[in-house]
């Protein structure tokens, strides 16, 4: 479908629907203060359905965390919020292009640019298409909303498992400034500051803020002698809000973030355990190499030995223009956005410092250039009639180009052979959609919910791989090396259309409680498996690059939300069951002695469970937040890819990143020491039952159950905006892995989380 025709059609529809409103009173003003995040009777207001609604009234399982709470607990990235929301998981990786978010045990793990994540990350109304873009530092935010379950009706095709909605801080009419500085006992430093105010009072407001952080890391490379697993970030975000007339608000946003990281795995063990036989393979050559380098593999190991420090340089930036126009009681919203993501990673392929006959040595160098342009247009009707609705159209053009090079040296006797392989590949995706969602208000307290989205995808890829072992570009399999395959060239395209929809009922149980039941169908479009080490039947015939079918889901959810009149108790309960067909997943395999992954339609999987969020306020200044999730996420019917071993039958086994039980508790008590000074005690605990990190179900990739306990104390001067907080993370000094995986050739490696050991910190905040 032509994009211009699509938007012309929608614009005509929107204006036609709005015309009767001109006979009404003057349109309500669209002001800079008319923003989500304000409160109604002390309740959080969210935009989960593109309207300002009370969190307790939205018929969706949703958690919202305020920006102030994120800052106080030093939850500065999407990865760190997974500790505070039990239904959320996060997959670590050496490069942020390999990382992704999971909700209710569902997420998409891949290094291929030809597939979108199952969990959508939305930044100020703009959908981020690549998983790596969502690993950004949050900066100064108003709040984060996490919507659980399929949200494709309003948020699009890459929201089949849920949405992480990031809402950044808005400028104010009054002059306002903030500054934040933090330091930890293990040399993690962070500074954040900004100013906000009116350029033209009532008409033009601006905010600009920046951040800088530096952390050497909590692991060490014995070969180079450097600290690793660290990061350095700096960035800036600016907002301009103009209200030239009462009925029109324009918001211009620009942001830039530069990141440098040295995240690398360390060896947890020299063994691997086969599934389903349980046969243990211990690698004596690996044990010898690690021992000579001074590395002792263990569940708490924090020492690696590689020829280079694995590193990634990342630039993530973009801009958007949001226009909100009130026409009578209707509101038209347009969001025009452009973003670019540049990623350059260097990795030690073999993860070892020494060349031996058993293990080749390799260095990887990869570059990603991803660019997207999107346009969204929607119309929201007034509330209170028989039917109120949001309808809209969406267009996305996304292009990702990657160049990945590997230099591999092998040893046979005394002869060294070096092979160079380079892969040049990428995708282009054009996505079009028409969508809408409506409430049918049967009575003031009882309503129906109906939503629909029609999605069109045009997806194409190209791939060219060359190898110095195949100088004539013959593509002969005999010229394959353990980590480098012979010449290959392929390209292809596919186009599909799919449907997402939601149906439901919602009943208000008095003024402060409601219950709902929804059925949702999720849809994620076609995909291509395109990456460095692709398999082929010959020089030009692909084996791994055949198009993947769309992923669809069917979800049933029932929920109950409410609070007491004095808000001493607030609660949200949800039970759900979701089945995914055509599940797009990475499957680990071994080809020519080296670990590879294949993006496949893995068959059918199911996630079902119960979630609860409870807030207690037993006394003034005393708040207790309790959250829990019971998740039963399993493979129903796995489709083994061609050439995979018989052991790939994983029917009935748990999905990765889906602990059966995950709990979170946060308690804070603030009381006055004097008229001007308050003191706060705070403590939080996260518990996770054991979790499998691999779809291949190997026993060595299971993280046992663990709990992390944090606490802080703070002195607060509310009148002048001062806060000084001292905190301790991981009080019990518990070691765990954020990701476990087979080593490139043998053994098991683990990724070390930021809070893998106990550390303390100080945080100073001033709001002017």
- Token digits of residue 543: 């084996």
For residue 701, the model assigns a pLDDT of 96
> In this structure, what token pair is assigned to residue 530?
């395109």
CA–CA dist 641, 693 (Å, integer): 20
Count other C-beta atoms under 10 Å from residue 200's C-beta. Answer: 12
Angle at 350 between CA 349 and CA 353, to 5 degrees: 115
The pLDDT assigned to 73 comes to 85
Return the exposure string of 469-507: e unless at least 16 CB atoms fall within 10 Å of the residue's CB, then b.
Answer: bbeebebeeebbbbbbbbbbbbebebeeebebbbebbbe
The DSSP string of 211-255 is: EEEEE--SEEETTT--EES-EEEEEEEEEEEEEEETTEEEEEEEE
Where are the chain's structural domains?
Answer: 3-767
Q: Choose among 165, 166, 124, 168: nearest CA to 142.
A: 168
Q: Judge contact between 1 and 432, C-beta under 8 A.
A: yes
Report residues of the chain scoring pLDDT below 50. Answer: 1-41
Nearby residues of 223 by Cβ (< 8 Å), 6 or more positions away: 293, 305, 306, 307, 353
- Cα 103 to its chain centre, rounded Å, is 9
Taking Cα atoms as reference points, which of 406, 290, 291 lies closest to residue 348? 406
703: three-class secondary structure by DSSP: strand
d(CA 71, CA 68): 5
pLDDT at position 364, please? 94
Q: The whole model's pTM is what?
A: 0.89
pLDDT the model gives residue 534: 72
Contact 91, 82 (CB under 8 A): no
Provide the pLDDT for residue 589. 66
The CATH architecture of the domain made up of 3-767 is: Beta Barrel (2.40)
Longest dimension (CA), the chain: 89
* Burial class of residue 651, CB neighbours in 10 A (0-12, 13-18, 19+): exposed
Q: What is the distance between the alpha carbons of residues 216 and 234, in angstroms, rounded to a whole number?
A: 15
């Amino acid at each position: 479908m032509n994009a211009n025709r699509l938007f012309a059609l929608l614009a005509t529809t929107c204006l036609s629907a709005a015309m009767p409103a001109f006979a009404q009173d003057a349109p309500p003003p669209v002001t800079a203060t008319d923003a989500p995040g304000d409160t109604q009777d002390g309740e959080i207001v969210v935009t989960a359905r593109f309207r300002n609604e009370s969190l307790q009234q939205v018929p969706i399982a949703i958690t919202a965390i305020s920006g102030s709470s994120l800052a106080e607990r030093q939850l500065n990235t999407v990865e760190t919020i997974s500790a505070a929301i039990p239904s959320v998981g996060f997959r670590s990786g050496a490069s942020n292009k390999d990382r992704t978010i999971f909700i209710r045990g569902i997420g998409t793990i891949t290094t291929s640019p030809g597939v979108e994540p199952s969990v959508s990350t939305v930044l100020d109304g703009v959908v981020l298409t690549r998983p790596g873009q969502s690993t950004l530092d949050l900066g100064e935010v108003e709040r984060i909303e996490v919507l659980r379950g399929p949200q494709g009706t309003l948020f699009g095709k890459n929201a089949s498992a849920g949405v992480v909605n990031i809402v950044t801080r808005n400028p104010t009419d009054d002059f306002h400034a903030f500054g934040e500085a933090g330091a930890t006992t293990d040399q993690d430093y962070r500074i954040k500051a900004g100013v906000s105010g009116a350029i033209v009072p009532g008409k033009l407001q601006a905010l600009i803020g920046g951040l800088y952080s530096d952390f050497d890391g909590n692991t060490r490379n014995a070969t180079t002698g450097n600290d690793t697993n660290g990061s350095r970030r700096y960035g800036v975000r600016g907002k301009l809000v103009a209200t030239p007339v009462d009925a029109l608000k324009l918001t211009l946003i620009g942001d830039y973030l530069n990141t440098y990281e040295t995240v690398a795995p360390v060896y947890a063990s020299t063994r691997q355990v086969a599934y389903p036989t349980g046969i243990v393979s211990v690698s004596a050559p690996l044990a010898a190499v690690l021992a000579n380098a001074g590395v002792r593999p263990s569940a708490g190991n924090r020492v690696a030995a590689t020829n280079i420090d694995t590193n990634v340089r990342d630039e993530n930036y973009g801009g958007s223009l949001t226009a909100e126009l009130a026409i009578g009681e209707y509101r038209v919203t347009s969001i025009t956005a452009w973003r670019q993501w540049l990623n350059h990673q260097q990795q030690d392929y073999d993860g070892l410092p020494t060349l031996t006959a058993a293990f080749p040595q390799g260095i990887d160098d990869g570059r990603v250039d991803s660019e997207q342009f999107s346009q969204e247009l929607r119309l929201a009707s007034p509330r209170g009639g028989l039917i109120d609705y949001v309808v809209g159209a969406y267009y996305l053009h996304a292009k990702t180009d990657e160049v990945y090079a590997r230099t591999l040296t092998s040893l046979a006797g005394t002869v060294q052979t070096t092979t160079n392989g380079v892969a040049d590949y990428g995708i282009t995706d054009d996505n079009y959609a028409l969508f809408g969602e409506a409430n049918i208000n049967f009575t003031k307290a009882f309503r129906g919910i109906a939503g629909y989205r029609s999605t069109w995808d045009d997806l194409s890829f190209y791939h060219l791989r060359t190898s110095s072992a195949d100088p004539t570009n013959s593509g002969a399999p005999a010229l394959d090396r353990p980590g480098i395959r012979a010449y290959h060239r392929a390209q292809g395209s596919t186009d599909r259309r799919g449907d997402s929809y939601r149906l439901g009922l919602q009943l208000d149980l008095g003024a402060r409680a409601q219950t709902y039941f929804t059925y949702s169908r999720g849809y994620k479009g076609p995909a291509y498996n395109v990456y460095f080490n692709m398999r082929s039947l010959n020089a030009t015939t692909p084996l791994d690059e055949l198009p993947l079918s769309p992923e669809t889901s069917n979800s049933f959810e029932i929920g109950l939300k409410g609070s007491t009149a004095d808000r001493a108790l607030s609660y949200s309960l949800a039970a759900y069951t979701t089945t995914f067909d055509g599940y797009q997943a990475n499957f680990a395999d071994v080809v020519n002695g080296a670990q590879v992954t294949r993006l496949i339609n893995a068959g059918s999987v199911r996630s079902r469970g119960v979630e609860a969020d409870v807030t207690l306020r037993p006394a003034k200044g005393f708040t207790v937040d309790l959250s829990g999730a019971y998740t039963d996420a399993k493979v129903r019917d796995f489709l083994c890819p061609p050439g995979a071993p018989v052991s790939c039958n994983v029917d009935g086994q748990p999905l990765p990143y889906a602990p059966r039980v995950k709990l979170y508790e946060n308690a804070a008590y603030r009381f006055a020491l004097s008229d001007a000074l308050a003191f706060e005690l705070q403590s939080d605990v996260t518990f996770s039952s054991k979790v499998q990190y691999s779809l291949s179900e190997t026993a060595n990739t299971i993280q046992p159950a663990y709990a992390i306990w944090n606490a802080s104390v703070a002195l607060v001067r509310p009148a002048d905006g001062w806060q000084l907080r001292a905190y301790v993370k991981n009080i019990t000094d518990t070691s765990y892995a954020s990701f476990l995986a087979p080593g490139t050739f043998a053994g098991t490696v683990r990724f070390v989380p930021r809070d893998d050991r106990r550390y303390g910190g100080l945080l100073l905040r001033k709001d002017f």
